């Protein structure tokens, strides 16, 4: 709980309407899209960079943790105020400040909803490429913090590939601007360093983003398989044939049924695996590419190759993919989503390993993921009302991520490390690498007040605030 003098100062900065410290209000900010919870001492909603700077100076004077929050859709605990303190919500900083079609740029505040930016620039023939499945709710600032991706990452890349510059507030309240309106800004790439830093180095208050021209033609297809192995093998086959679709998504097994029963997107209930593949570009090139993709799918024993004939059919296929996580609620009161990456050639064996882990842990695990870049998203269902069930699901998740590392992959592709995976970071990087990360963090935030207890493993992070691991990974799994 904040003392009254700190609360009074926050009220003077943003007004009493935008400071929340009642328990019933704080409960709304104690969780994100993951499974961890912690409650802030106060939530404040600034509207200007100057107000964010003043809040940071106040937190610095009083030695309080400072945690930024977008829409709370993150899946790794990145916005969880692990040690309380002041949470800065960016819901009021939601303006699109500038749209510059001539230079294919836009300037936005961090609270702008991802999809709203694309809607705003569509009349000019443009779109904003990063498209997380939570695009209707997640914000640009949150995307920058987590370096979010989405289904079209395969051809367009993740958020860092579309951020040209930032305005940020440091832990001491200093306002810093990085990058510029043009690529390859001189000096160190601070924009790239801060994108994906999960709010542990600075609070983002403005973002310069790259806009992309809408393609002339788009074609979406659904390839259907009786074997998940054949479905997974098609991903490598498409790449081997020199084809790079705009999106290449896979749904496997039981999850196909769950999604179809919830969304009626047209996925076959008896399939073992399906690929949702999208191609875009010039009309002639798209038609040619679609035929090459068809040949690759059939070479891997696809049962059927469906082409969306209308925009409505295309939207329906994507409805199934984009609403998959919500569909899980029909079969389980809780679920835990992981975010590992494996080489494309290892997808089939990784799916088999995930299945084995599910059987061993007696958990239902469904798979829906960005197959084109090997970004796995196993969805582990559990019941938090049963003692030990959450821990069992978390251990299954850790086993999956350890396996991803063992086959040459990574523990995250787009969800970040947050507090969920910080103990696993040491499984992927050496002590020397972790020490370098710690020193970079301390240069930006020497007193460890910005989003403490995130990203770096216990003992490798800030010495001022340490907490035992959420799960003791040294115990036998």
Give Cβ neighbours of residue 269 (< 8 Å, ≥ 6 apart). 256, 257, 260, 261
d(CA 130, CA 162): 8
Query: What are the residues whose beta carbons fall under 8 Å from the beta carbon of 323, sequence distance 6 or more?
Result: 259, 262, 263
Provide the H-helix boundaries in 136-240.
140-146, 153-156, 190-194, 228-240
Extract the tokens encoding 246. 């705009």
400 and 435 in contact (C-beta within 8 Å)? no
Mean pLDDT of 428-453: 96
User: Which pLDDT belongs to residue 245?
Assistant: 97
State the average pLDDT over residues 25-46: 96
Asked if the model's pLDDT at residue 30 lies above 50, the reply is: yes
Bridge partners, 450 (sequence order): 66
Six token digits for residue 336:
């835990």
- Please give the CATH architecture assigned to the domain spanning 1-214: 2-Layer Sandwich (3.30)
Contacts of 251 (CB under 8 A, 6+ apart): 259, 267, 273, 274, 276, 320, 321, 324, 367, 368
Q: State the residue for tokens 């410290």.
A: 21
Higher pLDDT, 173 or 333: 173
User: What share of the chain has pLDDT > 90, as a percent?
Assistant: 91
> For residues 247 and 373, what is the distance between their CA atoms, to the nearest angstrom?
9
Span 134-154, mean pLDDT?
96
Instruction: Give every strand in the sheet of 105-108, ordered side by side.
Output: 96-100, 105-108, 203-210, 163-169, 175-179
Buried b (16+ CB within 10 A) or exposed e, 297-332: beebebbebbebeeeebbebbbbbbbebbebbeebb
Question: Nearest-CA neighbor of 58 among 69, 73, 46?
Answer: 46
pLDDT digits (tens, 9 = 90+) for 167-194: 999 999 999 999 987 777 789 999 999 9
Instruction: Classify each residue of 255-293 as buried b or exposed e, where b means 16 or more C-beta atoms within 10 Å of its C-beta.
Output: bbbbbbebbebebbeebbbbbbbbbbbeeeebeebbeeb
Q: Are 10 and 60 in contact (CB under 8 A)?
A: no
Q: What is the DSSP letter of 27?
A: G
pLDDT of amino acid 203: 98
Residue 392 neighbours by CB distance under 10 Å: 16
How large is the average pLDDT for residues 21-50?
96
Query: Tens digits of per-residue pLDDT, 293-327?
Result: 999 999 999 999 999 999 999 999 999 998 888 89
How far, in Å, are 32, 171, 456 from residue 38 at the CA level?
Answer: 10, 21, 18
Which residues have a Cβ under 8 Å from the Cβ of 309 and sit 6 or more positions away?
none
SS3 59: helix
Region 353-362: mean pLDDT is: 97
Instruction: Give the Cβ contact number of residue 100 at 10 Å.
Output: 12
Q: Is 393 within 8 Å of 382 (Cβ atoms)? A: yes
For residue 136, how far is the Cα from the chain centroid? 13
CATH class of 217-326: alpha beta
The boundaries of every CATH 3.30.70.2190 domain in the chain are 217-326
Residue with the larger pLDDT of the pair 305 and 475: 305
Specify the pLDDT at position 180: 83
Residue 238 is encoded by which pair of tokens?
């498409």
Residue 475 has a pLDDT of 46
pLDDT tens profile 245-272: 999 999 998 999 999 999 999 999 999 9
N-term to C-term CA, the chain: 37
Residues 20, 203: Cα–Cα separation, whole Å? 20
**Confidence at residue 462, expressed as pLDDT on a 0 to 100 scale:** 61
The pLDDT of residue 406 is above 70: yes
User: Nearest 5°: phi and psi at 132?
Assistant: -55, 155
The answer, yes or no, to whether residue 447 has pLDDT greater than 90, is: yes
Residue 131 has pLDDT above 50, yes or no: yes
Look up residue 364 and give its DSSP letter. Answer: -
Mean pLDDT score of the chain, rounded to an integer? 94
Q: Is the model's pLDDT at 469 over the cut of 60?
A: no
Name the pLDDT band for 461 (thresholds 50, 70, 90): low
CA angle at 84 for the pair 78 and 85, rounded to the nearest 5°: 105
At 267, give phi and psi (nearest 5°). Answer: -80, 135
186 burial via Cβ count (<10 Å: 0-12, 13-18, 19+):
exposed
d(CA 133, CA 441): 30
Give the list of residues 6+ apart from residue 115 with CB closer than 8 angstroms, or none. 135, 136
pLDDT of residue 472: 46
pLDDT tens readout for residues 72-99:
999 999 999 999 999 999 999 999 999 9
User: pLDDT tens digits, residue range 204-219?
Assistant: 999 999 999 999 999 9
- Element (DSSP H or E) covering residue 444: helix 431-444
CATH 3.30.465.10 maps onto the chain at 1-214
């Amino acid at each position: 709980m904040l003392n009254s003098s700190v609360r009074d100062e926050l009220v003077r900065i943003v007004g009493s309407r935008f400071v929340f410290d009642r328990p019933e209000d704080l409960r709304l900010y104690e969780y994100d899209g993951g499974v961890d919870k912690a409650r802030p001492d106060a939530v404040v909603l600034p509207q200007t960079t100057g107000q964010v700077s003043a809040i940071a100076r106040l937190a610095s004077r009083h030695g309080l943790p400072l945690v930024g929050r977008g829409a709370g859709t993150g899946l790794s605990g990145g916005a969880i105020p692990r040690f309380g303190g002041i949470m800065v919500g960016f819901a009021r900083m939601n303006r699109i400040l500038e749209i510059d079609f001539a230079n294919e740029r836009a300037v936005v505040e961090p609270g702008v909803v991802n999809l709203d930016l694309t809607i705003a620039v569509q009349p000019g023939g443009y779109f904003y490429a990063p498209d997380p499945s939570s695009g209707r709710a997640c914000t640009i600032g949150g995307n920058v913090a987590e370096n979010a991706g989405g289904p079209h990452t395969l051809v367009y890349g993740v958020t860092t590939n579309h951020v040209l510059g930032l305005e940020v507030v440091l832990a001491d309240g200093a306002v810093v601007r990085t990058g510029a309106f043009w690529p390859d800004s001189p000096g160190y790439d601070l924009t790239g360093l801060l994108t994906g830093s999960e709010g542990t180095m600075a609070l983002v208050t403005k973002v310069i983003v790259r806009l992309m021209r809408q393609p002339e033609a788009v074609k979406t297809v659904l390839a259907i398989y009786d074997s998940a192995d054949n479905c997974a093998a098609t991903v490598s086959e498409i790449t081997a044939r020199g084809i790079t679709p705009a999106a290449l998504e896979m749904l496997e097994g039981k999850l196909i049924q769950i999604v179809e029963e919830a969304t009626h997107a047209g996925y076959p209930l008896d399939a073992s695996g399906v690929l949702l593949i999208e191609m875009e570009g010039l009309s002639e090139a798209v038609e040619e590419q679609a035929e090459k993709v068809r040949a690759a799918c059939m070479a891997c024993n696809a049962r059927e190759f469906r082409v969306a004939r209308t925009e409505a059919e295309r939207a329906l296929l994507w409805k199934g993919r984009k609403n998959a996580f919500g569909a899980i609620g029909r079969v389980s009161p809780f679920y835990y989503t992981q975010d590992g990456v494996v080489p494309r050639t290892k997808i089939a064996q990784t799916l088999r390993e995930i299945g084995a882990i599910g059987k061993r842990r007696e958990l239902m695990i469904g798979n829906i993921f960005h197959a084109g870049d090997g970004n796995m998203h196993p969805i582990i269902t559990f019941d938090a009302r049963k003692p030990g069930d959450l821990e069992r699901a978390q251990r299954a998740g850790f086993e999956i991520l350890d396996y991803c590392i063992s086959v040459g992959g990574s523990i995250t592709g787009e969800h970040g490390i947050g507090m969920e995976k910080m103990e696993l970071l040491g499984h992927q990087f050496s002590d020397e690498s972790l020490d370098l990360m710690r020193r970079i963090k301390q240069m930006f935030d020497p007193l460890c007040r910005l989003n403490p207890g995130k990203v770096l493993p216990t003992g490798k992070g800030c010495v001022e605030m340490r907490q035992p691991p959420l799960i003791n990974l040294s115990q036998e799994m």
